[in-house]
Amino acid sequence: MALAPVDGFCDPAFSSVQAAFAENFASRGEVGAGVCVMVDGRVVVDLVGGWSDAAQTVAWQPDTLVNFYSVGKAIVGLLALQLVESGQISLDAPIVEVWPEFEYGGKSTATLRHALSHRAGVPAIRERLTDDALWDWHRMAGAVAATEAWWEPGTRHTYHTNTFGHLNGEIIRRVSGSLPGERLWGVAGPLDADIWFGVPLSEQSRCAEVIWAPSSTLDYDLSSLEGENLMNALAHVNPPGYSSIGVVNTAAWRSTHSRRS
pLDDT (tens digit per residue) in 71-80: 999 999 999 9
Has residue 95 got a pLDDT over 50? yes
Residue 244 predicted with pLDDT over 90: no
**Is residue 130 in a domain?**
yes
Residue 32 is given by DSSP the state: E
Q: Is residue 127 part of a domain?
A: yes
Which domain does 230 fall in, by range? Answer: 71-255
- Asked whether residue 259 carries a pLDDT value surpassing 50, the answer given is no
Within a domain: residue 62? no
pLDDT of amino acid 261? 29
Count CB neighbours of 139 within 10 A.
14
Indicate whether 98 and 194 sit together in one domain.
yes
Mean pLDDT for the chain overall: 93
Examine the domain organization and report whether 22 and 130 are in the same domain: no
Which pLDDT belongs to residue 238? 94
Let me know whether 128 and 173 are in one domain: yes
Q: How far apart are CA 258 and CA 181, in angstroms?
A: 6
- Among 46, 4, 5, which Cα is nearest to 29's? 4
pLDDT-based confidence at 45, cuts 50/70/90? very high
- Considering the domain architecture, whether residues 166 and 247 belong to the same structural domain is answered as yes
Same-domain status, 16 and 136: no
pLDDT exceeds cutoff 60 at 216: no
Number of domains in the chain: 2
Q: Is residue 238 part of a domain?
A: yes
pLDDT at 107 over 90: yes
When mean pLDDT is compared across 25-29, 118-122, 156-160, the lowest value belongs to 25-29
Residue 61 counted as domain residue = no
Tell me which residue of 239, 235, 245 sits closest to 160, measured CA to CA. Answer: 235
- Whether 60 is in a domain gets the answer no
Alpha-carbon distance 132 to 135, whole Å?
6
Residue 214 pLDDT? 59
Global pTM? 0.91
The top-scoring range by mean pLDDT among 89-98, 224-233, 237-246 is 89-98
Pair 126, 36 in one domain:
no
For 28, counting Cβ atoms within 10 Å of its Cβ (0-12 exposed, 13-18 middle, 19+ buried), the class is exposed
Task: Give pLDDT, residue 34.
Answer: 97
What DSSP string runs through 154-206? TS-----TTHHHHHHHHHHHHHHSS-HHHHHHHHHHHHT----SS--GGGGGG
Between 2 and 217, name the one with better pLDDT: 2
214: preceding bond cis by omega (within 30 degrees): yes
Q: Residue 260: what pLDDT? A: 37
Residues 187-215 have pLDDT tens digits of 999 999 999 999 999 999 999 999 976 55
- Domain check: are 46 and 162 in the same one? no
Confidence bin at 1 (pLDDT 50/70/90):
low
Q: Are residues 128 and 36 in the same domain?
A: no
Which pLDDT does position 74 carry in this prediction? Answer: 96
| CATH code of 79's domain | 3.40.710.10
133 within some domain: yes
179 with 240, same domain: the answer is yes
Q: 12 and 76 in one domain?
A: no
Pair (147, 249) in one structural domain: yes
Separation CA 236–CA 123 (nearest Å): 9
| Residues 32, 64 contacting (CB under 8 angstroms) | yes
Between 4 and 45, whose confidence is greater?
45
Residues 143-202 have pLDDT tens digits of 999 999 999 999 999 999 999 999 999 999 999 999 999 999 999 999 999 999 999 999
In a domain, residue 56? The reply is no
Q: What is the CA 254 to chain-centroid distance, rounded?
A: 11
Please tell me whether residues 174 and 84 are part of one structural domain.
Answer: yes
